[in-house]
Every structure is written in C-alpha cells, then in structure tokens.
Amino acid sequence: MSKNSGPAGVKRREFLKILGASGAASATVGCGSGRVERLIPYLVSPDNTVPGVSSYYATTCRECSASCGVLAETRDGRVIKLEGNPEHPLNRGALCARGQAAVQGLYNPDRLRRPRVRRDGQLVDVSWEEALQLFSQRLGEYRGAGSLGNAVFVNNHDAGSLAAFIDQWLGAFGMPPALSWDAEADVAAIAAHRQAYGVAWPGFDFAAANLIISFGADFLDGWGAVVPQQLSFAEARARLAGAPRFVYVGARRSLTGLNADEWIPARPGSELAIVNAIRGSSSTREAAEASGVAVESLERLRRDLTSGAPSIVLAGGAGPNGAALVAAVAQLNQTAGNVGTTIRSDQAVAGYERTAPAAELLAAIERMRAGQVPLLMIRGANPVHGLPRALRVEEALANVPFKVSFSSYPDETTVLCDLILPDHHALESWGDAQARPGIVALQQPAMNPVFDTRATTDVLIAIAKADPSAASRYPMADYRSWLLQRFPGGAPAFAQALQSGIAAGSVAISDAPTRAVPAGPAPTPIDQASGDFYFVTYPSPTLGDGRGANKPWLQELPDPVSKICWQSWIEIHPTSARRLGVRHGDVLRVETSAGAVEAPAFVFLGIRQDTVAMPLGQGHTEYGRYAAGIGVNALDAMAVSTDARSGAAAWGVTRARVTPTGRSEPVVTTEGSARQHGRGIAQALLATELGLPPTAQTTDPGAAVEGELIRGAGPQEPPEEHAPSPPPGQPPTEFLPGLRAPVAADAEGDLTSQAAVETGMYDPKHWSGMANRRWAMTIDLARCTGCSACITACYAENNIPTVGAPHQTRHTPGVPRMAGGNILRGREMTWIRLERYFEGGVNADEDFETRFVPMLCQHCGNAPCEPVCPVYATYHAPDGLNVQVYNRCVGTRYCSNNCPYKVRYFNWFGYGEPDRPQYAFPEPLNWQLNPDVTVRAKGVMEKCTFCVQRIRESEHVARAEDRELRPDEFTVACAQACPSRAIVFGDAADGRWAVARQLGDERRYHVFEELNTYTAVVYLKKVNHPPADAPVGVPVPVGG
C-alpha cells in the first residue's frame, strides 16, 4: 500500500475519520427498522388443541368417486395438509396428486364467498336468508303450477348416502330422483362389470397375476380408483423377476401404457376385434387387419394369455361399443379363471355404484332445450365444460326458467345459473362413503368454513323445514344428525369412525328405483370419411375431466406423459409430424365433423401414426384465475354419441383432419431432453439378469458406456475398491449413501488442525452424536410409475410456490405473455421433479421403453454445490443432509450452476410477498402454508431439505418422551404420499431402518456415480420384462 496516495487521494488517517463520520450517520439511519408484528390470541382457548402442534382429523377425499381416506392435518384451526389414512382399506396411507390438491380447492381464492342471485342479468351477492327465501318461494310456485315433477337435479356423483338423502328430499317435494353424474367414471365399463362380476368396480389384484393386459384401461391415469390400483400394481412390480409382464393395447401410450413392457399399437376402436381374435371367435388375421397390428403380436398375446394364468385383462370403455368390449374382456377373464383370483368382487371399490350414464344426462338436456324443465338444480357437476360443445348445453340451459347451483366455484355452469347457494368444501362438511363392501368411511369437517358457505345438505334440510308439507319428515337439526341416525352401528360406531375414519357396515346407496337407460344418440361407428387421422381424447391424469384446473398445484404439475403444464397440446407421432411438416410446438388444427380445436404439437413416440390425441381438462372460460383462458377444451371437436349397451358417453375417439396452421407456440415444458444420452440416470435391467454378476448385465441401453464412464455402476462390485480412504475420525467406508469424501472436509474448516476436525460435530464420538445418523433415501424404479403424487406432496409440505399462473407472468421481450411464462424462461420451482426418459424407439417402427426417475436433491456427501458457495450458505450437515441456509444465501446461483443433478431452484421473484404480481399464495391460499417451513424470499436458492422439519419434529417428540428415534417412525412427504411405495427414507447408518436394508439391494446405483458425489439418494434399477421371443428393440409397426 502506497503511503503517498496522490493529490486527489485521502490519507489513511483521514479516511478513517470520514468513515467514522459516515458510520455515525449510518447508525442514526439504521435504527428502528422493526415492523410491528402482532400476536393475536384466542378469545377462548379450544379444548384438546395445542397452538403450534398439529391435530389430525380422519375424513374422506372427495376429489374423485373412489373416495380414499385422508387424515387432514390442522394447525391452529386450519387444514394445512392432507395425508392418506393408513387404516383406510382403499389407499392404505397413500394419496394421489389430486387428493393432495384438495386443500387448494378448500382455500381457492376464487371460491364463492356467499350466495348470489341473478338480478337484471347480473349475479349479485345476497344474504343466506334472502337466498333461501327465494329458493323456497320458487319451489312453492312450481309446485303450485304442478311442474315440479319435471325438475332436474344433477348431482356430482357421491359414494355415500348423500344420493339417498337428496332423492328423499326430492321425493318430499314430488320431484324425480337426482342424476348422479361423474364425467370421469367409465360408465360403459361399470355396466359391463356389473353384468360380469356383479359389482361396478371390482378390486384388481395385480400382484396375484402373471400377466397384465390392458385394452386402453388407464388404471394408473384415472380409470377407476387409481390409488388402490397403483398400490397393487407396484406390489406386483416389486416381485421383480416374478413380476407379471404388462402388455398395453391402445392407440396411444398413456401413463399406464408407458409403464407397460410391451405396447401393441392398435387402431382406435379395433380393440374388440383383437379380443375376439384372442377368444378364438374370429381369426387373428382379420383382427390384425382391423387393428393394424402384426399378426405375430396378436398370436403371441394369445399364447401368453393361455400360458400366463392367472392373468388380469382390463379394458376401458371410452371408445365406440365400450360396454361390449369390456364384456368380451370379462369373458376372457372368466375363461382364464381370473375372476376371484386377480379380479376380486369382494374387494370392490363401492364408490362407482349407481353412476348415471351419459344418455340420461343428454336426455335431461334435451328436455331442457325443449323448455320442459322449470327448475334445474346442480351440485358440483359442470356439464357446460364437461360435455361436447356440439351439444350446446348453454342454449339448453337458457330455456330453463330457474337454475340453482350449489357449486362453491364460479364454473361455466354456475355462472349461467339464477341462484347460487355455495356448498361447503368436503373438508368443511359431514358425509360418508362406501369404501369397500362392508366398510363405511366417514367424512367430517376438519375446520370451520373458510367463507360464508353452507352445506347443501343443511340447506336442503332448512328448505324442507320451511315447507309445511315436508317439515314433518325433517325433524333432525342438520345433516350430521341425519347421518348419525342411520350410521351402521349407531352412535358408538360413529364415534369410533371419527377417530379411525372407517366403520364396518353399509349405507344404502339410494332408495330410488333404477331407471331404464333412455336411448341416446346412436353409437356411430367411427366415421371414416371426415379425415385421415383418428382424434382421441382422454381425461388428464392431473386435471381429470377439468375439475382440477383451478388448483395451481395441479396446473403446474407437469403431465406425467408429456411433461407439459399450464397448456393444452396435441400428441402426434414423429413420422406424421414430419409428413405434415410440423415440429414440436407448431400449432395444429384438428377438424372433425363436430368442430375444430387448435393446440401446439407434442411430438410423441407413443402414439400411432394415424392418430392424434389430446387431454381433457383445460379450456375453461370461467372457473377462476388459475383455470380460465388456459388451453383449449378438446371436447369442442367431439361429436356426441353414446354406447348402445350402457348409455355411456362414447366421445373418446372420432375421425379428424389435421392441418398445420403455420403458427407456432412455445411449449411450457419442464423437460430438457427425453433421452438420457448415455448418462445412466435411469438404469434398468432385464428380469433375467437379476442375480447375475454385473458384468453379464449388458443389455441396458440407458446405462452409460459400460465400465468406462460410470465407475462401479455394477451393483455387485465391491464398493471398497473405489471408496477413498476414510477421513480422520470417520468410520471405514461402506456402501453408505452420503458418505463424505476427504475433500468435503475442506468446507468444514481448518484441516491443518487435526483437533479442529476431530472435535467437531462431524466426529462420530462428538457428544452431539449427529454424525452417527446418515439420513438417506432409496427410490425403487421398479415400483415407480411416474404418477407424480410425490411432487404435489412436496409442494404441500414445503410451501413451494407455483410460478406459472398467468398473473405471475410479466411481459419480457421475446417471450409471449402466457400461462407458464416463467417456466418458459427456466424459472420453474419444484424440489422434486419426475424425469421421464425414453429408451429405444429410435426408428419410428420400434417399440420403446420408458423410465421414470424422481429427481431431487441427492444430498451428496461430496457435494459440488458446497465448495462453490462464496458465503457458506450450503454445507453438509453431520447427519448427512446437504443444507441450504437461506439467511446466508446471497443468490449468486453458483451452486445451481455446479449441481450435476440440477435440483436447486432460485427464487426469481417475491413469490411470498403479497404486494407483488408474482405472489403465489393469494388469500386464502396462504392459509395452507406449513408453519414449520419458512416461505423463501426473493433472491435465495432453495431445494429439497429431506423434510428437515419432519426430522426435527420427530426428534422433538422423541426427546419429550425421553427416548431415541424409533426406526421408521416418520417419513418424508414424498415417501408418505407415494402410491407405489417406491420411496423409502430413513437413517442409513442404523440397520433397523427400512432404508438401510434396501441399500443392500443388488439393483442399487447412484446417479452420476462417476462424479464422486457420494449421493444419499440411492436408486434401485427398474426391471424390464420384454416378451420372451422379442426383446426390447424389436420392430413393432406403429403405422396406419
């Protein structure tokens, strides 16, 4: 340092003086920054709750008709998370993404807050008294006119005694029974199941089968009770070498199809021909011709079926002649002896009993159009969005003089109604559901109502009480008393069910007589003239028929197949895309005899060349800020037809003309590449390779250049060979996840002082004992189906903001202002993501394999992110966690750049700041936030914490009870939700934990092991079951 600082310079002494002066100035500025924070006490402390400690209420999920059991975690009177009820016979503790997202329905900022009535064409808020009086008055008027017999009540299908209650109420007023509508239910299959098996939805025991064949039955996507089906399917896959081979027959590979070992790409509508050929009632040659499938594939299918007993054959009824197809498949099951072994009517899912066929709803709509219906009441259903546009439901509704909606959301149907009496959310109200035959599940309110809504059941009771003729039949105070009165086992069983969620017994589904199926529009054989493509629609695995679209978690959850979110897309085969001259993202126009839709192309291997497909669920014009204006409704281009046998909707497939529009749209996808490029991220082996030494396992095309790139990729190589010598004070290295390499010690302080290393908490002998635990995770890829429930569970547990809503996207030059704009710019936020990789299928005619890999922070023992952080915001904790300290983080993002797994996500905007447009939790969505986890601010990096708050909470509990942690006494949110039971979390250093046992599996591998990261997340390889005589990679014609 120069003593002479030059003429313009300042001498050192003077510099200090100046610094002192400015320091004093700063001291005066710096004080008094504290914002006033208020502590709001209770007025009266509620009994049996401790502020800051969760209570759990056993109740029932109402997001689909399956009606799984959930435990609602409430903190200080607010539901903050839903978890599967381990005692419930259907979901046994697991919960799907849609079930998790129910809380966003409860706290949806666009929920209707009070009753509304139409005055001069406008819906205006009114008081409940006024609204109920109007309803009573209208009922009286129509009864006076004698027209109540023509009233229509459309109820969103309910698996419990609600249907009976509503029918009873309608009967008291002389109205016909309600129409129990579920747009997602496969009514054709239900009708056929009833005939063949005696129940609407039998239990499918995949684990008991040696072969699974699905004819378009997407049992992992939303076809039936997904969670129990997935639990069973994963059980089956976990049998590894003895697992059943899975063949999927269908025009497109759904999520279910992607999980199949073999795909037989049959022409849409030709499934019946194939089934008939397998049954022997027609020749395989004819079937091959009809379906466009090679004769050999069908022959093999038939051979497999005869040799593979017991098997399980399923069929979806969405196509033309759906019920006939399912019935034919049922006969196949009868002949193969599967009924009773793999198809169990004693384990039926009772939730699908008595769903109304589409024909019934269509007939009601025609009566409305004809002006014969004076009064329409609608609860939870949304036919304006959920039926094909060709039906012109709005016009029919316009001819109904008085329409009452009980919906809590401003959906397309509700905004056309004259009176809205918003219902409670399922988490705010009483109810019950038949889970399985002989087991009733209870639905109880988990919190006080968020808004000024009222349970429809209680509203109906109040209306009846006000009516002189009906009042005598409604002496009960409310619906709870009504339920209690007829609950099997009475009050004691009811009290028991309040605790466990379930009770033995049955609730009568409905007292109303079964009505004959009215004739709907005839099932037209797929019209061959109106185009050269088949146009297939399917319910979205995440949004369902569209009811999930107003929940940002589900909108932001990438579709398990396409990895696209906040958008609609049209799946098209690469060859067809090339023929049309379109690329990924070019907007396609699909024109059918009924209409047209336009959406960007998603070039997808898993679809036939003569088929394009589109998911349902998007294209809302109302339904709140997260749904309206996003994507297009595929039903806009679907013609109306029904299945002749069952009256079920048959608008799953039609013919279409597909043309490029010349426009192009950015595709909001979270996927970088669908291929692994030899990086060995998702590894697999053949069932025949299990138990072989690793050198013999050479068939895995997903593994990196064998032996070279991935050191020790072979599971049975002695790990000691590659493990470095242990650092001072460390136990000898074994194949333990998250072990620290010597270099990692660098980050912990002064290595030159031996004492500093040995007395730290990293020393296993340290009094804290922290280094004796090693939190780790195994993910079994043989079990994982890619369903993505783990992602939503993580969002719910860890206060992860959604970033893609339209209002969160600001205009940036070069990026159109659209939903998902932040994701387009690479600013997605998700601590765990599901990577989906294709193997094979390089030639268009080849079958391919799909691998799903949940990818989260690997909690590396030797983490690349740690040494590059200039402020030590990320470091390796002694118990094996890679910790991100938000307070220290200054947002350089070096860690993310250096992370080989790309699992660190940056807070680009103030997602937690209410005054910013990017605010992710508009009131009351913020009520859901987990108080145990901080909401991260703008400018900090965040990532998976291994649910450290759950680790700490368990430690607190153990400490309070003066004991050690018990093995597997808690788990992380993703593992808890997983309906495949693929994720196991625990202490790898303690052999009593399940995860420690899993680590000995021969299929274990670390992703990017060659980088020496010593990850704490260990994957178990997927196991493939290719057909015996046709290994992976054999050409399968996909052509039209």
- Per rule CB under 8 A, is residue 2 in the interface with another protein? no
Please state, in angstroms and rounded to a whole number, the distance separating the CA atoms of residues 287 and 266: 10
Residues 946-965, interacting with another protein (CB under 8 A): 948-949, 952, 956, 959-960
φ and ψ at 629, to 5 degrees? 80, 10
> How far is it, in rounded angstroms, from Cα 944 to Cα 474?
53
Instruction: Give the list of residues 6+ apart from residue 102 with CB closer than 8 angstroms, or none.
Output: 61, 62, 63, 70, 82, 425, 426, 427
| Stretch of 174-182, 395-403, 876-884, 993-1001 lying at the interface with another protein (CB under 8 A) | 876-884
The verdict on whether omega for the bond into residue 867 sits within 30 degrees of 0, i.e. cis, is no
Judged by CB under 8 A, the stretch of 371-379, 492-500, 765-773, 978-986 that binds another protein is 765-773
| 508 belongs to the binding site for another protein (CB under 8 A) | no
List 2, 4, 34, 814, residue binding another protein (CB under 8 A): 34
718 binds another protein (CB under 8 A): no
Q: Does 870 bind another protein (CB under 8 A)?
A: no
Residue 933 engages another protein in binding (rule: CB under 8 A): yes
Strands 586-591 and 570-572: unpaired
Cis ω on the peptide bond leading into residue 924 (within 30° of 0)? Answer: yes
Element (H, E) at 141: helix 128-144
The interface region with another protein, picked from 27-35, 386-394, 788-796, 995-1003 by CB under 8 A, is 27-35
Q: Give CA–CA dist 124/126, Å, rounded.
A: 6
922 within 8 A of 109, measured Cβ to Cβ:
yes
Q: Which stretch binds another protein (CB under 8 A): 168-176, 190-198, 247-255, 762-770?
A: 762-770
Grouping H, G, I as helix, E, B as strand and the rest as coil, residue 229 is helix
Nearest distance from C-beta of residue 720 to another protein, angstroms:
29
Is the CB of residue 319 less than 8 Å from the CB of residue 269? yes
Which residues lie closer than 8 Å to 378 by C-beta, 6 or more apart? 153, 154, 155, 403, 404, 405, 406, 407, 413, 414, 417
Q: Is 18 one of the binding residues for another protein (CB under 8 A)?
A: yes
* Residue burial 22-53, b: 16+ Cβ < 10 Å; e: rest: eeeeeeeeeeeeeeeeeeeeeeeeeeeeeeee
Backbone angles phi, psi at 650, to 5 degrees: -130, 45
β-pairing, 55-60 vs 1017-1020, is unpaired
DSSP string for residues in 930-997: -TTSPPPPTT-EE---SSHHHHHHHHHHHHHTTSPPPTTS---HHHHH-TT--EEEEETTSTTSHHHH
Is residue 52 near another protein by the rule CB under 8 A? Answer: yes
Identify the CA nearest to 71 among candidates 62, 87, 84: 84
The binder of another protein chosen from 466, 751, 818, 883 (CB under 8 A): 883
Q: Is 871 in the site for another protein (CB under 8 A)?
A: no
With CB under 8 A as the contact rule, the residue among 2, 468, 887, 915 that binds another protein is 887
Residue with smaller CB distance to another protein, 30 or 718: 30
* Rounded distance between C-alpha atoms, residue 366 and residue 400, angstroms: 11
Taking CB under 8 A as the rule, does residue 877 contact another protein?
Answer: yes
| Element housing 194 (H / E) | helix 187-197
The site for another protein, by CB under 8 A, has a size of 57
- Indicate whether 22 belongs to the interface with another protein (CB under 8 A): yes
Q: How far is the CB of 828 from another protein (least distance, A)?
A: 22
Give the x-and-dash track for 770-789 against another protein (CB under 8 A): x-------------------
Task: Provide the minimum distance between the beta carbon of 356 and another protein in the complex, in angstroms, as a whole number.
Answer: 47
Select the residue interacting with another protein from 107, 875, 905, 993 (CB under 8 A).
875
Min. distance of Cβ 12 from another protein in angstroms?
A: 12
Which is nearer to another protein, 50 or 241 (by Cβ)?
50
The span of 47-55, 477-485, 722-730, 922-930 binding another protein (CB under 8 A) equals: 47-55
718 or 767: whose CB is closer to another protein? Answer: 767
Among 1, 2, 30, 870, the residue binding another protein under the rule CB under 8 A is: 30
φ, ψ for residue 40, nearest 5 deg: -105, 115
Q: Please identify, using beta-carbon distances, which residue of 87 and 955 lies nearer to another protein.
A: 955
One of 294, 747, 937, 1030 touching another protein (CB under 8 A): 937
Does position 16 interact with another protein (CB under 8 A)? The reply is no
Least separation in angstroms between residue 883's CB and another protein is 4
Q: Which residue has the tokens 């998603």?
A: 602
Taking the least distance from each CB to another protein, the nearer of 17 and 119 is 17
DSSP letters spanning 824-851? HTT----SEEEEEEEEE--STTB-EEEE
Which residue lies nearer to another protein by CB, 22 or 307?
A: 22
- For another protein, the closer CB: 13 or 811: 13
CB of 885 to another protein, least distance (A): 5
User: How many Cβ atoms are within 10 Å of 562's Cβ, its own excluded?
Assistant: 19
Does residue 926 interact with another protein by CB under 8 A?
no
Q: How far is the CB of 887 from another protein (least distance, A)?
A: 5
Considering the rule CB under 8 A, would residue 21 count as an interface residue with another protein? Answer: yes
Q: Does 987 bind another protein (CB under 8 A)?
A: no
CB of 890 to another protein, least distance (A): 10
**What is the pairing mode between strands 775-780 and 983-987?**
antiparallel
What's the order of all strands across the beta sheet hosting 69-75?
55-60, 69-75, 78-84
Region of 9-17, 203-211, 261-269, 522-530 interacting with another protein (CB under 8 A): 9-17
Say whether 733 sits in a helix, a strand or coil. coil
Binding-site member from 11, 113, 675, 765 for another protein (CB under 8 A)? 11
Does 29 bind another protein (CB under 8 A)? Our answer is yes
Footprint on this chain of another protein (rule: CB under 8 A): 7-8, 10-11, 14-15, 18-19, 21-23, 25-27, 29-31, 33-34, 36-45, 50-53, 761, 767-768, 770, 875, 877-879, 881, 883, 885-887, 932-934, 937, 945, 948-949, 952, 956, 959-960
